[in-house]
């Protein structure tokens, strides 16, 4: 049995297979409409979510399976003090596969160690978000026809943004990747990403503060929201929240074929006027999230 806790849990070849399966699912959805008949997905969400939970549920329903679960800690026995380990033991006898989101770093890993069914990390605190990464990879792969040889700008809250951490981990395994890390001083990537992931693997990267300085060089611009819920005080959040706003005017500096991704939810960091630009693919990206989660559910169930 395999789990997906970190984006590195899949080899590059396995990822390649998964993305191809997702592409096939997009093209031939009918072929998969009964692939999970009689099987159940549990979604255990201890933190708010729209896309991740609903795209998991849509994915399982599209495969002919059923869903059960909870969407907040308050509505589960966590509110009575039950541990994640105990909850997952019980859920293992109710469902065939489980997606879990939790505010604590490492919660999904703990769950997987006690689980009798495959566990998917749907976000653990400010740490990792591997299924968003699968979504991001599928978006880039489908729209650019490659995953290597590109310059990727990651902009916004690089400190707390778990989607950024997971995406960096995943992309360094492809050739010719360069990163431009665009953030205010206080929201730079954590040291372990800079030292143990980027420097250790000799990945070229620059860190800068002004989005305008980076824009002309980028093949992908990955915008992120300032992660309000991970700040220790409101004052710091208020100071940082509108640090970046991507506007139509700024986009004039970018390449014609640059893609703008965002894991969503968007707050103010991308002006709505940008939505009509053909380079803005974040809503399409959310749609890819369903295909890739269908592929993931099928793959993990096959490996049981």
Q: Which residues are catalytic?
A: 51-52, 80, 101, 129
Return the SS3 of 59: helix
Rounded to 5 degrees, what are φ and ψ at 201? -100, 10
Q: Which is nearer to ligand NCD, 3 or 293 (CB)?
A: 293
CA distance 37 to 180: 44
| Shortest distance, position 283 Cβ to ligand NCD, whole Å | 12
Quick check: 118 binds ligand NCD (CB under 6 A)? no
Q: Rounded to an integer, what distance in angstroms lies between the CA atom of residue 134 and that of residue 299?
A: 13
Structural Rg of the chain based on CA atoms: 19
Give the nearest distance from C-beta 216 to ligand NCD in angstroms: 26
Contact pattern for ligand NCD over residues 190 through 229, marking x by CB under 6 A? -----------------------------------x----
Q: Is 162 in the site for ligand NCD (CB under 6 A)?
A: yes
Identify residues 234-273 at the interface with ligand NCD (CB under 6 A): 263-265
Q: Work out whether 102 is an interface residue with ligand NCD (CB under 6 A).
A: no
3-state secondary structure 155-215: ECCCCCCHHHHHHHHHHCCCCCEEEEEECCHHHCCCHHHHHHHHHCCCCCEEEECCHHHHH
Counting every residue written for the chain, the total comes to 304
Please tell me whether residue 52 binds ligand NCD under the rule CB under 6 A.
Answer: yes
**Smallest distance, ligand NCD to C-beta of residue 265, A:** 6
CB 31, min distance to ligand NCD, A: 27
Minimal distance in Å, beta carbon 182 to ligand NCD?
A: 16
Q: Which is nearer to ligand NCD, 102 or 162 (CB)?
A: 162
| CB count in 10 Å sphere of residue 121 | 28
- Which residue intervals of the chain are DSSP H helices? 12-27, 51-62, 84-91, 107-114, 130-144, 162-171, 191-192, 211-214, 234-240, 248-251, 282-302
CB-nearer residue toward ligand NCD: 92 or 187? 187
Question: According to the binding rule CB under 6 A, does residue 132 interact with ligand NCD?
Answer: yes
Based on the shown chain and the rule CB under 6 A, indicate whether residue 139 belongs to the binding site for ligand NCD: no
# of chain residues touching ligand NCD (CB under 6 A): 11
Q: How far is C-alpha 225 from the geometric centre of its chain's CA atoms? A: 13
Which positions lie near ligand NCD, rule CB under 6 A?
51-52, 123, 129, 132, 162-163, 225, 263-265
């Amino acid at each position: 049995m395999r789990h997906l806790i970190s984006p590195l849990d899949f080899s590059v070849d396995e990822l390649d297979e998964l993305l191809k399966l997702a592409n096939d699912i997009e093209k031939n959805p009918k072929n998969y409409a009964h692939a999970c008949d009689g099987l159940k997905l549990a979604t255990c969400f201890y933190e708010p979510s729209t896309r991740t939970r609903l795209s998991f549920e849509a994915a399982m329903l599209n495969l002919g399976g059923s869903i059960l679960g909870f969407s907040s800690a308050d509505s589960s026995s966590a509110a009575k003090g039950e541990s994640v380990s105990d909850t997952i033991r019980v859920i293992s006898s109710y469902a065939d596969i489980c997606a879990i989101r939790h505010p604590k770093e490492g919660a999904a890993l703990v769950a997987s160690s006690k689980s009798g069914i495959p566990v998917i990390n749907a976000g653990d605190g400010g740490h990792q978000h591997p299924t968003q990464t699968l979504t991001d990879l599928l978006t880039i792969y489908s729209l650019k026809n490659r995953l290597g040889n590109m310059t990727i700008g990651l902009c916004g809250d690089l400190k707390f943004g778990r989607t950024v951490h997971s995406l960096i981990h995943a992309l360094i395994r492809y050739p010719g990747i360069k990163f431009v890390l665009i953030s205010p001083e206080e929201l730079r990537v954590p040291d372990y990403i800079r030292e143990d992931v980027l420097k250790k693997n000799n990945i070229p990267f620059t860190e800068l503060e002004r989005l305008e300085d980076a824009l002309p060089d980028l093949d992908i611009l990955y915008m992120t929201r300032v992660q309000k819920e991970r700040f220790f005080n409101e004052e710091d959040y208020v100071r940082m929240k509108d640090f970046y706003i991507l506007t139509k005017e700024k986009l004039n500096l970018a390449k014609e074929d640059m893609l703008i991704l965002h894991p969503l939810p968007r707050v103010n960091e991308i002006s709505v006027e940008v939505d009509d630009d053909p380079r803005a693919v974040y809503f399409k990206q959310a749609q890819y999230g369903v295909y890739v989660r269908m592929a993931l559910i099928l793959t993990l169930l096959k490996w049981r």
